[in-house]
């Protein structure tokens, strides 16, 4: 999951991931980085809040908003600088602070079906 998005992503792309615990947001990100051609081992940035992955055809910045209490914490991490870095942003738990995202953000909702399979719904907000 995520590889096709990684192969087609352009500089400045922003992906906002939404889904319950265990839905597959980090798994999607692993596939995404693989699609970018990155050899890195992707882990959840839950405690570090952001991981930087420079090894693919574009740099990627992987955020996790799960343990963040306010948008100011994200801004203090340099959110605006990351948006301007000409790389790609992937943010898990993005629905916690939707106003931080630019209009061109690709929103992806991952849900788990009763049989355990994952469903991906892509949408954009206005």
The per-residue pLDDT for range 27-67, each reduced to its tens digit, is: 999 999 999 999 888 877 666 789 999 888 999 999 999 99
Tokens of 18: 């939404």
Q: Which residues pair with 119 in a beta bridge?
A: 111
pLDDT level of residue 116 (50, 70, 90 thresholds): confident
Tokens of 83: 């948006």
Rounded Cα gap, residues 10 and 6, in angstroms: 9
Domain boundaries, the chain: 3-123
3-123, CATH topology level = Rossmann fold (3.40.50)
């Amino acid at each position: 999951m995520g590889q096709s998005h990684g192969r087609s992503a352009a500089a400045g792309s922003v992906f906002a991931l939404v889904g319950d615990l265990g839905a597959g947001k980090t798994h999607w990100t692993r596939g995404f980085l693989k699609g970018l051609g990155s050899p890195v081992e992707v882990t959840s940035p839950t405690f570090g809040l952001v991981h930087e992955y420079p090894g693919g055809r574009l740099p990627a910045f992987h955020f996790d908003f799960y343990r963040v209490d306010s948008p100011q914490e994200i801004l203090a991490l340099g959110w605006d600088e990351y948006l301007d870095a000409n790389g790609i942003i992937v943010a898990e738990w993005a629905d916690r602070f939707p106003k931080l995202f630019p209009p061109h953000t690709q929103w992806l909702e991952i849900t788990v079906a009763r049989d355990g399979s994952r469903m991906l719904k892509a949408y954009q907000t206005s």
